[in-house]
Amino acid sequence: MDINDMDSWRSFEDDSFVIMETGVLGFSEDIASVASQIARVSGGEFFSAGGNKGLLWETLLYKTYSKKLNYTMDPFDFREDVAYTGRRLGGKERVSIDFSDLIGGA
């Protein structure tokens, strides 16, 4: 499934899966919309391994990996974390999505 395919996301029932993510959210075109669908489908039970970190990676090296990579996100564990945070690659824009606000509001 393409992480950006909202029609596929909508095909899953609410609160039907635990979602474990291993870096593919970095390819999101609209990370807030994808996170909203993850919250809806998972009922909040979401884990993320996060993405690669480091100044060189976040500003330059990611371009050698894929031109479609947009974000590097921090690890997330719904049992401990409230905000799903990270950075838009190639810039200084920080991303912070209050995951607890998305649960039930997706």
Note the pLDDT tens digit of each residue in 42-65: 988 999 998 888 888 888 888 898
Overall pTM surpassing 0.85 (yes/no): no
Note the pLDDT tens digit of each residue in 35-48: 999 999 998 899 99
The residue type at 83: A
Q: How far is CA 95 from CA 18, 20, 35, in A?
A: 23, 19, 12
48: which strand partners?
Answer: 21, 76
